[in-house]
């Protein structure tokens, strides 16, 4: 069976995380995604600790951040500022169902690549704009970034421990949330176009709005109660809970319902805790958490992690190891579901990828394919969509409109 979006073509002018992530999600679902990059590439090609290597083990110019959010795409490198560059993109957009961009408000309008300009050549286009703060409002022209939005949404007011500075998440959660919301919006707009004859439309997606949706349940509770949530990792009503140190590692546990507390006391052979009136229900355990946590933390440090996980899991309680990323990739459950795979990079080296989490029986997703080399698909894309021959493509390269064809085979140095 073909993938769900196998009849959809996307033109992506995405950089960094949010828009490329939306593009990758659509590509995983089967869409043909053509990534338009600057002549020197998406800046994320140079970001990340991991360096992609070729078949001989030599370093290439691509790094881990780029390859994590750009698989299953094609690449064409265009100088939008060069004479004819923006026009080339408009001509490509005429053959595309979806246009994705995450430039600052107004930047693409100056190039004649805003929604109205693209709609003029493709009236039913689904145009997704991902920005820091949206197309309206006093912040609309500001540049946006994940960690800035983490602060503005209130997220960072809840992180870290009391007395310590607020902490941003090391994972770009606002970017990835926006990318997922963006992909969902595109799929919804495509469905509306095909089923309700809704035509094309402009999707205005802000990292700020997406981030507010992430913290929404906390914000609603705060606005209803008038109380800001306390900082830290403990949740009222779920004590003992959080990360606990054992004799040889850490694990995470959550005890909420009083029935779970009773099972916890039986499993850990602690009838004294079960009988202690200070811990008789979940709210008393919260009120007296300092004493309770001191007790169970000391208990957990006396035995290895495997012992406690066996005891707690056999009792049907929610507990799991706190793993490093390397350990998580090798976890038996992760391996059983092939959630982390190794594929062949375009230059021949092995490349680890995290599989899309969506599993569909009737219309399976595309298998992960290598992220593209910079500009590798220019000849194919321009030939198929615009009917340009090899000499015409080379002429565009000679004028500086189009990037050079990438070298294949020998590894690049970066």
Give the percent of the chain with pLDDT over 90: 77
What would the pLDDT profile of 234-288 be if each residue is shown by its tens digit? 777 789 999 999 999 999 999 989 999 999 999 999 999 999 999 999 999 999 9
- In terms of residue numbers, what domain contains 315? 241-328
Return d(Cα 44, Cα 176) in angstroms, integer: 15
Same domain, 100 and 168: yes
pLDDT greater than 50 at residue 413: no
Query: Does some domain include residue 333?
Result: no
175: annotated active-site residue: yes
Over range 207-234, report the average pLDDT.
91
Query: Does some domain include residue 410?
Result: no
As for how many domains the chain has, the answer is 2
* CA neighbor of 100 nearest in space, from 199, 11, 9, 207: 11
What would the pLDDT profile of 132-175 be if each residue is shown by its tens digit? 999 999 999 999 999 999 999 999 998 888 888 888 899 999 99
CA 65 to mean position of chain CA atoms: 11
| Per-residue pLDDT band at 50 (split at 50, 70, 90) | confident
What would the pLDDT profile of 309-335 be if each residue is shown by its tens digit? 999 999 999 999 999 999 999 999 999
Query: Looking at residue 299, which CATH number applies to its domain?
Result: 3.30.1540.10
Query: Does some domain include residue 234?
Result: no
Residue 405 confidence (pLDDT):
80
The answer to whether residues 159 and 218 touch, using CB atoms and an 8 Å cutoff, is no
For the chain, give the mean pLDDT: 92
Same domain, 324 and 350: no
* CA neighbor of 31 nearest in space, from 106, 129, 115, 98: 98
Same domain, 121 and 202: yes
Query: Does some domain include residue 324?
Result: yes
Same domain, 139 and 36: yes
Residue 53 confidence (pLDDT):
83
Query: Does some domain include residue 45?
Result: yes
Same domain, 321 and 352: no
At 156, list the tokens.
């960072």
Rg of the chain, C-alpha, whole Å = 26
In angstroms, the Cα distances linking 281 to 34, 221, 230, 269 are: 57, 22, 21, 18
Return d(Cα 157, Cα 405) in angstroms, integer: 48
Residue 33 confidence (pLDDT):
98
Residue 140 confidence (pLDDT):
94
Same domain, 282 and 323: yes
Query: Does some domain include residue 335?
Result: no
Annotated active-site residue in 175, 204, 377, 379: 175
Kindly report the pTM of this predicted structure. 0.90
Same domain, 205 and 283: no
Query: Looking at residue 155, which CATH number applies to its domain?
Result: 3.40.50.10540
What would the pLDDT profile of 282-310 be if each residue is shown by its tens digit? 999 999 999 999 999 999 999 999 999 99
What would the pLDDT profile of 75-118 be if each residue is shown by its tens digit? 999 999 999 999 999 999 999 999 999 999 999 999 999 999 99
Return d(Cα 313, Cα 390) in angstroms, integer: 63
In angstroms, the Cα distances linking 383 to 5, 246, 386 are: 23, 61, 6
CB neighbours (10 Å) of residue 144?
22
Strand order in the sheet with 98-101: 73-77, 32-37, 9-13, 98-101, 126-131, 201-206
């Amino acid at each position: 069976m073909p993938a769900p979006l196998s009849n959809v073509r996307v033109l992506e002018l995405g950089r960094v995380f949010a828009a490329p992530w939306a593009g990758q999600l659509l590509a995983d679902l089967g869409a043909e995604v053509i990534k338009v990059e600057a002549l020197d590439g998406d800046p994320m090609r140079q970001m990340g600790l991991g360096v992609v290597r070729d078949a001989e083990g030599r370093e290439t110019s691509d790094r881990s951040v780029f390859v994590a959010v750009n698989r299953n795409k094609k690449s064409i490198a265009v100088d939008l500022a060069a004479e004819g560059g923006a026009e080339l993109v408009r001509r490509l957009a005429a053959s595309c169902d979806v246009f994705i961009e995450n430039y600052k408000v107004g930047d693409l309008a100056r190039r004649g690549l805003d929604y109205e300009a693209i709609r003029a050549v493709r009236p039913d286009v689904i145009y997704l704009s991902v920005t820091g703060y949206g197309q309206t409002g006093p912040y609309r022209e500001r540049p946006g970034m994940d960690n800035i939005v983490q602060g503005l949404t209130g997220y960072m007011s809840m992180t870290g421990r009391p007395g310590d500075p607020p902490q941003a998440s090391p994972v770009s959660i606002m970017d990835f949330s926006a990318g997922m919301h963006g992909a969902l919006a595109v799929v919804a707009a495509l469905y509306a176009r095909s089923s309700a004859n809704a035509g094309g439309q402009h999707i205005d997606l802000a990292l700020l709005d997406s981030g507010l949706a992430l913290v929404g349940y906390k914000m609603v509770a705060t606005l209803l109660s008038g109380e800001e949530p306390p900082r830290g990792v403990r949740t009222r009503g779920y004590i003992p809970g959080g990360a606990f140190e054992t004799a040889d590692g850490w694990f995470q546990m959550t005890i909420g319902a009083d029935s779970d507390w009773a099972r916890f006391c039986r499993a850990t052979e602690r009838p004294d805790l079960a009988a202690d009136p200070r811990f008789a229900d979940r709210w008393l355990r919260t009120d007296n958490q300092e004493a309770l946590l001191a007790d169970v933390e000391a208990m957990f440090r006396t035995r290895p992690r495997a012992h406690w996980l066996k005891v707690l899991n056999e009792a049907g309680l929610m507990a799991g190891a706190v793993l490093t990323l390397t350990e998580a990739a090798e976890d038996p459950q992760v391996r059983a579901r092939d959630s982390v795979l190794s594929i062949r990079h375009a230059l021949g080296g092995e490349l680890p990828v995290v599989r899309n989490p969506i599993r569909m029986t009737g219309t399976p997703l595309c298998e992960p394919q290598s992220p593209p080399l910079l500009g590798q698909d220019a000849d194919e894309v321009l030939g198929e969509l615009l009917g340009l021959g090899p000499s015409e493509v080379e002429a565009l390269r000679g004028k500086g409109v189009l990037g050079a064809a990438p070298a294949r085979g020998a590894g690049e140095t970066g």
